[in-house]
Chain A
Amino acid sequence: MLLSLIGKQMKMLLRNKQPLIILLVMPVVLITILSTALASVMNSEEEAAIQAKLVLIDESSWEQEEASIESFLKEGGVNGPALEALLQVFKSNDPIYILEESILDTKDISKYIAKENRQSTELDNLRKDKEIAGILVIPADFRFNYIKSAYFDEQETPDMDLFLSQENGIRASIIQSVLEEWQSGFTKSLALTKAGIPADGVMQNEQAVERIEQVLQGSERKIPASIYYTVGMLVMFALYIPTFLAGFALQEVQWKVYDRILLAGVPATLYAFSIFITGMIIALMQQVIILLYGKFVLGIDWIGLEGMTLIALSFSLFIGGLSALLTTLQLRTKSEGVANIFSGLVVSIFAFLGGSFFNIGDVSSLLANIGSFTPNGATMSAILAIQKGQLLEVIWSYMFTLYGWFVICILLSIVLFPKRGVTS
Chain B
Amino acid sequence: MKGIWLARLQNLKRKPLVLISMTVMTVIFAYVLSGGVGSSVTLLVATDDTDMSNKALERLQHIDDYSITVLTEAELQEVMKEKRDKIGLQLYEKTYSVLADTESDIVRMLSLEVVTIYNELSFQEQIVTNAGESKWEEVENSMVEEPSFLLEKSSMDESQVFRYDGALQSLFGFMLYFVFYTISINVQFILEDKRTGIWNRLKLASISRFQLYFGHLSFSYLIGLIQMLLVIFLFRFIIGTNMYGGFWKVVVISSVYVLLVMAFSLFIISLVKTVSQSSVIISLLAVAFAMIGGAYWPLEIVQSEGLLAMKWISPIYYGMEALKRVTIYGETLGGVFSYISMMILLAILLIVIGITLLEKRTERYHSSE
CA gap between A197 and B119 in the complex, in Å? 18
Within 8 Å of chain B (Cβ to Cβ): is A116? Answer: no
- B138 CB, min distance to chain A CBs, angstroms: 5
Asked whether A209 and B97 contact (CB < 8 A) given A344-B279, A355-B85, A366-B36, the answer is no
Measured CB to CB, the nearest residue on chain A to B145 is A191
Measured CB to CB, the nearest residue on chain A to B277 is A18
B150 touches A188 (CB 8 A): no
Residues of A within 8 A of B297 (CB): 38, 41, 358
CA gap between A422 and B365 in the complex, in Å? 29
A132 touches B156 (CB 8 A): yes
B130 touches A209 (CB 8 A): no
A345 touches B103 (CB 8 A): no
Q: Which one of A162, A215, A372, A390 has the greatest number of beta carbons of chain B within 10 Å? A: A162
A191 touches B149 (CB 8 A): no
CA gap between A211 and B116 in the complex, in Å? 12
CA gap between A169 and B365 in the complex, in Å? 53
Within 8 Å of chain A (Cβ to Cβ): is B356? Answer: no
Within 8 Å of chain A (Cβ to Cβ): is B280? Answer: yes
A202 touches B126 (CB 8 A): yes
CA gap between A358 and B140 in the complex, in Å? 42
Within 8 Å of chain B (Cβ to Cβ): is A120? Answer: no
Residues of B within 8 A of A207 (CB): 94, 118, 122
- B216 CB, min distance to chain A CBs, angstroms: 19
A202 touches B162 (CB 8 A): no
B156 touches A163 (CB 8 A): yes
Within 8 Å of chain A (Cβ to Cβ): is B206? Answer: no
CA gap between A39 and B33 in the complex, in Å? 25
B280 touches A240 (CB 8 A): yes
A157 touches B280 (CB 8 A): no
B86 touches A361 (CB 8 A): yes
B102 touches A146 (CB 8 A): no
CA gap between A161 and B115 in the complex, in Å? 26
B147 touches A41 (CB 8 A): no
- A38 CB, min distance to chain B CBs, angstroms: 7
Size bracket of the B interface? 35 or more
Within 8 Å of chain A (Cβ to Cβ): is B16? Answer: no
CA gap between A159 and B108 in the complex, in Å? 29
Measured CB to CB, the nearest residue on chain B to A336 is B276
B23-50 interface mask toward A, CB cutoff 8 Å, 1 = contact, 0 = none?
Answer: 0010001001101110001100000000
A323-344 interface mask toward B, CB cutoff 8 Å, 1 = contact, 0 = none?
Answer: 0000000000000110111011
Within 8 Å of chain B (Cβ to Cβ): is A22? Answer: yes
Within 8 Å of chain A (Cβ to Cβ): is B151? Answer: yes
Residues of A within 8 A of B32 (CB): 364, 366-367
CA gap between A367 and B85 in the complex, in Å? 10
CA gap between A361 and B100 in the complex, in Å? 11
B149 touches A359 (CB 8 A): no
Interface residue ranges of A143-192 to B (CB < 8 Å): 146, 149-150, 157-174, 176-177, 179-181, 183-184, 186-192
Q: Count chain A residues whose beta carbon lies closer than 8 angstroms to a beta carbon of B.
A: 114
Within 8 Å of chain B (Cβ to Cβ): is A397? Answer: yes
Interface residue ranges of B111-158 to A (CB < 8 Å): 111-112, 114-116, 118-119, 122-123, 126-127, 130-131, 135, 138-140, 142-143, 146-158
B139 touches A191 (CB 8 A): yes
B94 touches A202 (CB 8 A): no
- B339 CB, min distance to chain A CBs, angstroms: 14
Residues of B within 8 A of A343 (CB): 276, 279-280, 283
Asked whether A159 and B143 contact (CB < 8 A) given A37-B304, A385-B82, the answer is no
Our count of residue pairs bridging A and B at CB distance below 8 angstroms stands at: 292
Within 8 Å of chain B (Cβ to Cβ): is A347? Answer: yes
Within 8 Å of chain A (Cβ to Cβ): is B58? Answer: no
Residues of A within 8 A of B301 (CB): 38, 40-41, 50, 170
A160 touches B101 (CB 8 A): no
B151-184 interface mask toward A, CB cutoff 8 Å, 1 = contact, 0 = none?
Answer: 1111111101111101000100000000001000
Q: In the complex, which of the residues A22, A146, A166 contacts B162, with contact meaning CB atoms closer than 8 Å?
A: A166
Asked whether A394 and B150 contact (CB < 8 A) given A170-B164, A361-B86, the answer is no
Q: Which one of A150, A159, A340, A351 has the greatest number of beta carbons of chain B within 10 Å? A: A340
Q: In the complex, which of the residues B41, B81, B87, B103 contacts A44, with contact meaning CB atoms closer than 8 Å?
A: B103
- B271 CB, min distance to chain A CBs, angstroms: 12
Interface residue ranges of B1-31 to A (CB < 8 Å): 18, 21-22, 25, 29
Within 8 Å of chain A (Cβ to Cβ): is B363? Answer: no
Stretch at the interface among A28-36, A68-76, A406-414: A28-36
A364 touches B152 (CB 8 A): no
Within 8 Å of chain B (Cβ to Cβ): is A49? Answer: yes
A170 touches B105 (CB 8 A): yes
- A374 CB, min distance to chain B CBs, angstroms: 13
B36 touches A166 (CB 8 A): no
CA gap between A348 and B157 in the complex, in Å? 38
Q: In the complex, which of the residues B21, B101, B143, B150 contacts A222, with contact meaning CB atoms closer than 8 Å?
A: B101
A210 touches B130 (CB 8 A): no
- B69 CB, min distance to chain A CBs, angstroms: 10
A213 touches B185 (CB 8 A): no
- B240 CB, min distance to chain A CBs, angstroms: 18
A41 touches B150 (CB 8 A): no
A364 touches B35 (CB 8 A): yes
B82 touches A397 (CB 8 A): yes
Interface residue ranges of B211-265 to A (CB < 8 Å): none
Q: In the complex, which of the residues B126, B152, B298, B302 contacts A205, with contact meaning CB atoms closer than 8 Å?
A: B126
Within 8 Å of chain A (Cβ to Cβ): is B51? Answer: no
Within 8 Å of chain A (Cβ to Cβ): is B313? Answer: no
A339 touches B157 (CB 8 A): no
Residues of B within 8 A of A381 (CB): 84
A211 touches B95 (CB 8 A): yes
A364 touches B33 (CB 8 A): yes
Within 8 Å of chain B (Cβ to Cβ): is A365? Answer: yes
Measured CB to CB, the nearest residue on chain A to B154 is A163
B284 touches A37 (CB 8 A): no
B106 touches A95 (CB 8 A): no
A169 touches B300 (CB 8 A): yes
Q: Can you give 7 contacting A-B residue pairs, CB < 8 Å?
A: A42-B102, A132-B156, A168-B300, A209-B119, A214-B97, A345-B283, A368-B85
Per CB-CB distance, the 3 closest pairs between chain A and chain B, nearest first, are A364-B36, A361-B85, A209-B118
Binding site for B on A (CB under 8 A): 18, 22, 26, 30, 33-34, 36-42, 44, 49-50, 95, 127-128, 132, 134-135, 142, 146, 149-150, 157-174, 176-177, 179-181, 183-184, 186-192, 194-195, 197, 201-202, 205-215, 222-223, 228, 240, 243, 247, 336-337, 339-341, 343-345, 347-349, 351, 355, 357-368, 371-372, 381, 384-385, 388, 390, 394, 397
Apart from the given pairs A30-B288, A363-B37, 11 other A-B contacts in the complex at a CB distance below 8 Å: A38-B297, A41-B102, A95-B149, A164-B153, A192-B139, A195-B135, A201-B126, A202-B123, A210-B96, A349-B25, A361-B86
